[in-house]
Structure 1
């Protein structure tokens, strides 16, 4: 057993659980200096019994400490990130996403969660593209998705729920490092996919990232890094176009504007800032995304688009009357939202005493006491298991029979 690797895993799990060395040492029945040496890998020997005590205190399987996660070694990863992001941030973001899939795999085998144990995957066949440019192909796919779901030209209410309904994959909002917008991670052994985006203070960016990742998923782009900076690949351009047209379809914009001249006349100015802001608000997209769509409709020129750029979502909300509502939406977009299916499984496992409350708290992104209080208020408490009384007479007879067999 590689004691250095074991020690590193113990430290990582301790930090993930939010324990200091002293607190974990007390829980597992070690002295703090002993745990320190175990984490450094300098202790001469670490027994499986000792690792079992540590695993029990950390509420993880002992194999997580001895051999690491089998899930981490087999997942396929697609990340939407800035190319300048540090490797440490990439690894930290990946670890957060993989931990969710690890928990999902760990919950397998429970008799009390059969309904939620597997993703109910739906395979939507993307139409063969007719267009030759990424913009045309992205728009075609978005139109197809809207047709399948019967959305017409209306705004999309919840993109994450749309993804789950359309494809059956899990979605989550996690506290990823700031340069990482999103991850799509697939565990091929369990045919499970998770799309996770960053908890942030720009609701429209969160929605756009979900839609962008859905584009990759539907096109079967596989595991790759989706760079946000530098030259955009045709694949990225196509998924950007898909997200724009899914969230803010051109026909929907035309319908909203109507024939009453709200966009001005040929003799006057085209779409002004207020109109573009109201459109962005209606379709829940960022102001720059709406400006691109208006340019696609030839309602503004490139020069006009560039001149209108600048105001943030917060500034526009205060300027045009939805400031308080936007503040509430920002609070929601900053909140961790674990995958509904996996959280359902975890709560069921908690009630069956298969996992502790700390695991649930980490999944929900909040404190142990807060999670425990919420569970208690909902009447979700661990089931009391009645220990079976041993039949002493039968055990004694079995033991006597073994001794007689051994004497022969």
Structure 2
């Protein structure tokens, strides 16, 4: 890129409207708010985003400042994994607003760009999701377990296993602006991507069930996404239950009447919540709906009690993603550095670290004699 005062003019002539939209969605800013911040009309911002006109050179630094990106971010020509909200599986549309979904989609697009940059330098695990020829979610779950050689026992290190089979898993930093976004996934890019948030509950058991739920979407609904569709969400839940607690294995271990102590022991063994085990008992016909209802009431009263309380995700091995951070470390060992990667992506270095899940380097203490 040119330097000095030539940069804004050069950016203007190479301006990519889609990058402005992406940056605005990432910032969670409306067209109106952005327009007011840079001194133009909302209609003008809309024209920039559809490519009907380009922002003046003097507006480029203002856009970059307000959206927290380098001016070069708006330049066309870089790989751009384009998605829209119709191409991702969101758990519920009623609990998320349109701008929150747009922000999540923009985050996923950037994650793909990072993956794409790393794959130029490092061979990531090949995508290994078996094809299924059934609409039965339980049968699909058994197919995946067999294909991955999991046997009939508990699935340990679930997120690490997803990564080992070529799925990119991300856990974004907590974002109060997207606290209703639970999880989502897509197969519309060169790699399947699953995003697991901890905004709503930092609980390893919910986290694992959600990861298995999104795996169900990837396997069952890879050809199309219908965000928030209740039938597909139920199918993904059924897949997750069978994947984590296979009927033939869990049924002999489940009590024939509600026994919360026994279920708490099973929680530790199988890595699923007591709540989901109660549901499994009801689903498999071991207890009645009314008995399950009473159990849920008791669980609510025990919600903060050890053995029943949520347990943080980062205290369990293999349940936080590490694929991208390890790929970055390997690339750095062969000559890559953060500044080079940030320049290639046209991001601030802090943004690269955020998506990698890598903290900034510690300051170095120097002792002077």
Q: Does 1:122 align with 2:128?
A: yes
Q: Does 1:298 align with 2:282?
A: no
Question: Which residue is equivalent to 2:360?
Answer: 371
Q: TM-score, normalised by structure 1?
A: 0.62
Question: Which residue is equivalent to 2:82?
Answer: 73
The 5 A counterparts of 1:9-28 are 12=24
For residues 106 and 280 of structure 1, do their structure 2 counterparts lie closer, same or farther at Cα, with a shift above 3 Å needed?
same
2:264–2:274 Cα contact (<8 Å) kept? yes
Q: Does 1:245 align with 2:242?
A: yes
Question: Which residue is equivalent to 1:97?
Answer: 108
For residues 12 and 178 of structure 1, do their structure 2 counterparts lie closer, same or farther at Cα, with a shift above 3 Å needed?
same
Structure 1 outlier segments of 4+, above 6 Å: 38-44
Once the two structures are TM-superposed, the CA of residue 316 in structure 1 deviates from its matched residue by 5.3
Separation (CA, whole Å) in 1 of partners of 2:341 and 2:353: 15
The 5 A counterparts of 1:207-246 are 207-227=208-228, 232-233=230-231, 235-246=232-243
Once the two structures are TM-superposed, the CA of residue 241 in structure 1 deviates from its matched residue by 0.9
Count, aligned residues: 316
The 5 A counterparts of 1:302-381 are 302-311=289-298, 315=302, 318=305, 320=307, 327=311, 329-330=312-313, 332=315, 337=320, 340-341=323-324, 344-345=327-328, 348=332, 349-350=336-337, 353-355=340-342, 357-364=349-356, 370-373=359-362
Greater Cα offset, 138-147 or 1-10: 1-10
Partner of 2:192, secondary structure, is: strand
For residues 59 and 93 of structure 1, do their structure 2 counterparts lie closer, same or farther at Cα, with a shift above 3 Å needed?
closer
Q: Unpaired runs of 5+ in structure 2?
A: 1-11, 29-36, 46-53, 343-347
1:212–1:242 Cα contact (<8 Å) kept? yes
For residues 104 and 300 of structure 1, do their structure 2 counterparts lie closer, same or farther at Cα, with a shift above 3 Å needed?
same
2:118–2:327 Cα contact (<8 Å) kept? no
Q: Does 1:87 align with 2:98?
A: yes
For residues 11 and 224 of structure 1, do their structure 2 counterparts lie closer, same or farther at Cα, with a shift above 3 Å needed?
closer
For residues 105 and 144 of structure 1, do their structure 2 counterparts lie closer, same or farther at Cα, with a shift above 3 Å needed?
closer
Match of 1:271 among 248, 258, 273: 258
1:8–1:39 Cα contact (<8 Å) kept? no
Separation (CA, whole Å) in 2 of partners of 1:45 and 1:286: 55
Q: Unpaired runs of 5+ in structure 1?
A: 17-34, 258-262, 265-269, 378-408
Once the two structures are TM-superposed, the CA of residue 211 in structure 1 deviates from its matched residue by 0.7
Q: TM-score, normalised by structure 2?
A: 0.68
Separation (CA, whole Å) in 2 of partners of 1:171 and 1:7: 24
1:82–1:179 Cα contact (<8 Å) kept? no
Once the two structures are TM-superposed, the CA of residue 87 in structure 1 deviates from its matched residue by 1.0
Once the two structures are TM-superposed, the CA of residue 4 in structure 1 deviates from its matched residue by 11
Quote the RMSD (CA, aligned, Å): 4.3
Once the two structures are TM-superposed, the CA of residue 236 in structure 1 deviates from its matched residue by 2.6
For residues 274 and 14 of structure 1, do their structure 2 counterparts lie closer, same or farther at Cα, with a shift above 3 Å needed?
closer
Separation (CA, whole Å) in 1 of partners of 2:221 and 2:278: 29
Question: Which residue is equivalent to 1:280?
Answer: 267
Separation (CA, whole Å) in 1 of partners of 2:282 and 2:55: 68
Partner of 1:318, secondary structure, is: coil
Separation (CA, whole Å) in 1 of partners of 2:353 and 2:220: 35
Partner of 1:295, secondary structure, is: helix
